[in-house]
C-alpha cells in the first residue's frame, strides 16, 4: 500500500520546513511520497524541498482547493491520499 501526502503551499511558508521535517520523521511500514503543490513559494523553501527529496509540483490550478485536487490527480499510484497544511506539524 502506498500513501501520498499532499501539501498546498503558497508564498513564504515559514513553517513548511518544520512540516516537512515532521513528515520525514514518520515511522511507517508503508512507502509514501510527499507532494508539495507550489502556488508561488519562495526559493529558500524550494532548496529545503530538493534537499529532502520531496516532490515539488508547480500548481496548475490556483488556490488551495485547486492545489489539492491537482495533487490528487498526480497521486494515482497511491491507495491512500492524505492532506496537511504547510503550517502544520504532523505527530508521530
Alpha helices by DSSP H, 4-80: 16-24, 43-52, 64-74
DSSP code for 54:
P
Express each pLDDT in 40-63 by its tens digit.
Answer: 776 566 677 766 768 888 887 778
- The answer to whether the beta carbons of residues 53 and 23 sit under 8 Å apart is no
pLDDT at position 17 is: 84
pLDDT at position 18 is: 87
How far is Cα 25 from Cα 90, in angstroms, rounded to an integer? 9
Q: Which residues lie below 8 Å from residue 2, measured CB to CB, with a gap of 6+?
A: 30, 31, 32, 33, 77, 78, 79, 80
Which residue ranges of the chain lie beneath pLDDT 70?
42-46, 50-51, 53
pLDDT at position 70 is: 92
Sign of the alpha-carbon dihedral angle for 47, 48, 49, 51: positive
Amino acid at each position: 500500500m502506498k500513501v501520498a501526502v499532499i501539501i498546498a503551499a503558497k508564498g513564504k511558508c515559514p513553517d513548511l520546513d518544520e512540516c516537512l521535517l515532521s513528515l520525514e520523521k514518520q515511522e511507517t511500514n508503508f512507502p509514501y511520497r510527499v507532494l508539495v503543490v507550489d502556488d508561488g513559494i519562495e526559493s529558500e523553501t524550494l532548496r529545503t524541498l530538493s534537499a529532502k527529496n520531496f516532490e515539488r509540483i508547480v500548481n496548475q490550478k490556483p488556490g488551495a482547493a485547486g492545489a489539492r485536487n491537482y495533487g490528487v490527480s498526480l497521486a494515482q499510484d497511491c491507495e491512500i491520499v492524505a492532506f496537511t497544511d504547510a503550517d502544520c506539524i504532523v505527530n508521530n
